[in-house]
Amino acid sequence: MPLWDRIRRSQVWKSIFRHPPPVDRPNRVKVVLTNLILHLHPVAMPKHGLRLRFTWCMGGITFFLFLVEVVTGVLLMFYYRPTIQWAYHDMLALRDVVSYGILREVHRWGAHAMVITAMLHMLRVFLTGSYKPPREFNWVIGVLLLALTLLLSFTGYLLPWDQLSMWAVTVGSNMVGAAPLVGHEGPASWVTDQSDLRYVLLGARSVGEEALLRFYVLHCVALPLLAAFLMALHFWRIRKDGGISGPL
C-alpha cells in the first residue's frame, strides 16, 4: 500500500478528518460542512461567482493580506519596543542584524497592498451593484472595514519612529486639531489644545512618546481585534444575504 494511503487510513488521520477524501460528490459536500475554515463557504455556488472578471478576487485577497499582516505583525512584536529610546533602534536592528530579514518589508508592502485591494474591492462591489438589497448592511460593514484598514495603516506608520513617520502623523493629527467644535483650532471650538480631539488621539499636544504608545496599542491590539470581528460579521452576512450577488 502506498505511504499516502497508509497515512489516510491511520487512526490519527481519521480522527482529524472524519470522512473519506473529497473525490466524489457526497464527500466534497462533507468536506466543506465539517471543516471549520472551509465552512465559511457555502457548499455550492453559482458559476459566475468563480469568474475572476466578476469579483477580481479582491475581497479574498484583502482577507489574505490581513492574515499576512497578523502573522508578520506578531513576529515583529518580538523585536519591537514602542518607546522613544528603542523604537528606532529596533528598526535598525531588524534591518542590519537579522539576516535575510524581510519581515518589515512583507509587513509594510502587505499593508500598502491591503489598502489598495480594499479600495478596489469596494469599487467592484459598487460596479456590480452588489450593495443593493438585501446586501445594504454588509456594504455598511465594508465601509467600516475600509476605514479600519486606513486607521490600521495610519497607526502603524508612526511606529518606526523616523522622520518620515513622525511628520506624516503630525500632518494627519493637525487636521484633527482643526475639526469644528472638538478641535482647538477649528471653527466654533469649545476646547483647548489640552482637551481637544487631537489630544485624545496623541495623549499630548504633539507627537511624542504618549502618541507612540497609544498608536502601538491601537495598532497591535484594539484595531486588529475590531477588524477581525467585523470581518467575521462580513463573511457571515455574505452567507446570510444569499451568497455572492448575481442577476436575479
Partner 1 sequence: MTPDIAEHLTRVAPLLAAFHAACSAMNVAAGGYAWRGRRRGEALAWLGAAIVFLGLAVGAWAGRPPQLPAMAKAGIDAVLGPATLFLGSLALLTVLYLGRRFFTAPPVGLAALNASLLLFGLSLADPVFASLVAKPDHVPIVGMIYLLGFVTWIAAYQAVENDRRTAAGRGPVEKTYAEKVLVWPDLVYIELIAMVLVSALLIAWSLLLAAPLEQPAHPSVTPNPSKAPWYFLGLQELLLYADAWYVGFVVPCLILFGLIALPYLDVNPKGNGYYTIDAQRRKYLVFMFGFLMLWVLPILVGTFLRGPNWSFFGLYEPRDPQKMAMHVNVTLSEYFWEWGLGRPRPEVDPHAGAWLRMGQAMWREMPGLAVLAAYFVALPLLLRRTLFKTARLAMGRCRYWIAMGLLLLMLTLPLKMLLRWTLHLSYIVSMPEFLLNF
Alpha carbons 53 and 86: distance in angstroms, whole number: 47
Site residues (CB under 6 A) for ligand HEM, limited to 115-144: 118, 121-122, 125, 130-131, 135, 138-139, 142-143
Q: Is 223 in the site for ligand HEM (CB under 6 A)?
A: no
How far is Cα of residue 238 from the mean position of the Cα atoms in its chain?
Answer: 18
Identify whether the C-beta of residue 231 lies closer than 8 Å to the C-beta of residue 66: yes
Q: Is 219 in the site for partner 1 (CB under 8 A)?
A: no
Alpha carbons 175 and 114: distance in angstroms, whole number: 24
Q: Which sign does the torsion angle of CA 198, 203, 208, 214 carry?
A: negative
Identify whether the C-beta of residue 32 lies closer than 8 Å to the C-beta of residue 43: yes
Q: Is 153 in the site for ligand HEM (CB under 6 A)?
A: no
Site residues (CB under 6 A) for ligand HEM, limited to 34-63: 55, 58-60, 62-63
Site residues (CB under 8 A) for partner 1, limited to 103-162: 104-106, 108-110, 112-113, 115-116, 120, 122-124, 126-133, 135-136, 139-140, 143, 146-147, 150, 153-154, 157, 160-162
Q: Is 218 in the site for ligand HEM (CB under 6 A)?
A: no
Shortest distance in whole angstroms from residue 245 CB to ligand HEM: 3
Alpha carbons 20 and 9: distance in angstroms, whole number: 9
What contacts 216, CB < 8 A, 6 or more positions away? 82, 155, 159
What contacts 191, CB < 8 A, 6 or more positions away? 181, 182, 183, 184, 197
Alpha carbons 206 and 185: distance in angstroms, whole number: 14
Site residues (CB under 8 A) for partner 1, limited to 55-114: 56-57, 60-61, 64-65, 68, 88, 91-92, 95, 102, 104-106, 108-110, 112-113
Q: Is 214 in the site for ligand HEM (CB under 6 A)?
A: no
Q: Which of 94, 211, 218, 238 binds ligand HEM (CB under 6 A)?
A: 238
Cell of 129: 451593484
Alpha carbons 197 and 185: distance in angstroms, whole number: 11
Of 150 and 213, the one with the shorter C-beta distance to ligand HEM is: 150
Of 3 and 96, the one with the shorter C-beta distance to partner 1 is: 96
Per CB under 6 A, residues contacting ligand HEM are 55, 58-60, 62-63, 66, 118, 121-122, 125, 130-131, 135, 138-139, 142-143, 145-146, 149, 231, 234, 238, 244-245
